[in-house]
Amino acid sequence: MEITYHGHSCIQIVTEGKSLLIDPFLRGNPLAVTKPEDIRTDYILLTHAHTDHILDAEPIARANEATIVATFELATYMSWKKLKTIDMNIGGTVDLGFAKVKMIQAFHSSGIFLEDGQIIYGGMPAGFIVEAEGLTLLHAGDTALFSDMKMIGERHSIDVAILPIGDHFTMGPDDALQAAEWYGAKHVIPVHYNTFPPIRQDSEAFVRRLEAQGQCGSALAPGEKLEITAAGLRGGK
């Protein structure tokens, strides 16, 4: 399984010759090194409806004939744009053939910002657990710390947890460290930081603090990849 960090909260997973893209936000991210037209993917998973998580979902889905997987409300909104969608909700699982995707809770907000200035309800925010190749990857989405993370960690053997650390809009580093412990993740990738001034964080310092509590992590630069197998991880550009 290959994991690519595209900046902000955007993660791409390539497994069994298929691609999953989570929360594409490239055009609006000054740190991104990848353009929407460079992405090749089969499915797009959306954790919630905020612009910094869905901005490039439509053009990437259209160019790739990819299917968008999201909560019922957000998937319905995307279907109005004549895009292929799978609607689901928190607690549910969809089998994509090469991977199973379970939607888990996140504590945040979710709204679609229209061009006329209106905000419409985007459904509940969420995270995803992706199971493929005998591995389990968790993308927490935009979330605060909540105690059921411990239950999720007890029920799932999480190989990689992707956690926001930016603070202000999501968990900060202190809460993300607690989340990593509760999830029991073998490896942690910090996301949702440095894109905007209010969420500036030192990701390398966060990884050092992870190591101090007995866990491993990787502070990936936009465009950087990790390869993960049952035997471990290997990094590279």
- Half-sphere exposure in the Cβ direction for 94 (13 Å, CA): 16
Phi, psi at 4, each rounded to 5°? -115, 130
Read off the pTM: 0.97
Secondary structure class of 102 (helix, strand, coil):
strand
Q: What is the pLDDT of residue 235?
A: 62
Tens of pLDDT, residue by residue over 186-198, are 999 999 999 999 9
Residues ≥6 apart with Cβ < 8 Å to 42: 18, 19, 20, 64, 66, 67
Q: What is the pLDDT of residue 154?
A: 98
| Residue ranges, the chain, pLDDT below 50 | 237
Q: What is the pLDDT of residue 212?
A: 98
- Number of Cβ atoms within 10 Å of the Cβ of 63: 14
**Rounded to whole angstroms, how far apart are CA atoms 86 and 94?**
9
Q: What is the pLDDT of residue 237?
A: 46
Q: What angle do CA 193, 195, 201 make, to 5 degrees?
A: 35
Q: What is the pLDDT of residue 201?
A: 98
The full set of domains in the chain, from first to last, is 2-232 (3.60.15.10)
